[in-house]
Amino acid sequence: MPLGPTRQVAVVGVGITELCRVSPRSALDLAAEALRLALDDAGLHRDAVDGLYTNVGFPLAVDYDRMAEAFGLRIRSAVQTWTHGRFVGPALQAAVQAVALGTSEVAACVAGVSFSGIGLVGGAGDLEGTRQGGGSHGELPHYGMTAPGAGAAMAFSRYCARYGEDPELIAAVPLAARRHARLNPNAQLSTPLELADYRAAPYVVEPLRRPDFALLSDGGGALLVTTVERARDLGKPAVVVGGMQGLRAGHDEFIFAPPGLGVFTQGDQRRPVTPADNPVYGMAGVGPQDVDVLTLYDAFSPNVLFVLERFGFTGEGEALRWIQDGRIEVDGELPVNTAGGLLAEAHLCGWGHLVEAVRQLRGGAGDRQVADCEVVQWATPFGDSVILTRDR
């Protein structure tokens, strides 16, 4: 039996809990609140939810079946990805595909995260570092690289050496994140950070300093996905899913670098970005020049550079200088992670970025609202992306 026609999809409700370093609440409790807030935002009852999608499960969070049981949901379509933040995009995309094809009518994308409950992430005691080929965050324990930051630092060092750049120019990223967080009442880290403070911060893995590393956080986030037609009948403006593309993998891919700059890459060449590399723009009918706000997975500051170059916002080797002079701040040419991102708002495994994208398109971001925001792109250095647009 052939598949029927696909349906246009929108985000219709969002929810995010209080964010903090250590919470006495469980990941299940945080996920429940986030879902309730999203349902209230959309004006929907939980009985409307028939799809459940998450990118984190045990031990950092809660598996999909336990959430459905605890929340009293009747689910007919569910996807749970590997327990890592970089799968927030694929989790949302799975929900969009389910609604587009009719296997779900209202899909809940939700996670509660309790970093404080799992102890150390990375390091010699992290069992994920023993998987074949190295750890899941770019760790290579057999070479002495036992933490995620080591892979990020090595990729950034290679970038600076290749293009003859000063590594301290990366300070523009955490400075922007902290300034955005100060405009966000729910941000975890809103203390001022200036260039002198950045330079005084200790290295964690040279050339990256403490402000270049994501926070550890407790909190919950949720988005509700349904058809555009149904969304238009509800209380809040629909945010349309204009385009998307999937996570990339291969011999020249590395999670903290653009293709050709990773630890496994042989030689010294990067292939230039072409339109064929980023079909998300053709699907959405826009280009990088049309993006009003960029939200991206900023586990480490250099991720910003690698997203900018991978998606054609700048040329190869140009991003580090391009981000200077406030260019990625709220009132700059391309605001990036306007809520503070993983570096300053909280590490909700990417859900905070997506909630902020919806708020910007609805015009509800408060003091950090970007004027006339119509197109927001979510992206990662690993190649996946979603473009959200205001409902026209």
pLDDT digits (tens, 9 = 90+) for 31-60: 999 999 999 999 999 999 999 999 988 877
CATH number for the segment(s) 122-207+242-392: 3.40.47.10
- Model pLDDT, residue 120: 57
Q: How does residue 250 score in pLDDT terms, banded at 50, 70 and 90?
A: confident
* Residue 119 pLDDT greater than 90, yes or no: no
**Residues 6+ away with beta carbon under 8 Å from 121:** 115, 148, 216
Q: How does residue 131 score in pLDDT terms, banded at 50, 70 and 90?
A: low
- Model pLDDT, residue 1: 44
Mean pLDDT in residue range 194-204: 97
CATH number for the segment(s) 9-119+216-232: 3.40.47.10
* Residue 130 pLDDT greater than 80, yes or no: no
Q: How does residue 251 score in pLDDT terms, banded at 50, 70 and 90?
A: confident
- Model pLDDT, residue 302: 97
Mean pLDDT in residue range 210-218: 95
* Residue 137 pLDDT greater than 80, yes or no: no
**Residues 6+ away with beta carbon under 8 Å from 2:** none
Longest pairwise C-alpha distance within the chain: 64
Q: How does residue 217 score in pLDDT terms, banded at 50, 70 and 90?
A: very high
pLDDT digits (tens, 9 = 90+) for 357-380: 999 999 999 999 999 999 999 999
Closest CA to 275 of 310, 235, 321: 310
* Residue 146 pLDDT greater than 80, yes or no: no
**Residues 6+ away with beta carbon under 8 Å from 369:** 360, 363
- Model pLDDT, residue 83: 73
Number of Cβ atoms within 10 Å of the Cβ of 206: 11
- Mean pLDDT score of the chain: 91
Percent of the chain scored above 90 by pLDDT? 74
Q: For the chain, give every residue range classified as CATH 3.40.47.10.
A: 9-119+216-232, 122-207+242-392
Mean pLDDT in residue range 79-90: 87
- Model pLDDT, residue 133: 61
pTM of the predicted model, to two decimals?
A: 0.94
Helix (H/G/I), strand (E/B), else coil: 143? helix
**Residues 6+ away with beta carbon under 8 Å from 142:** 134
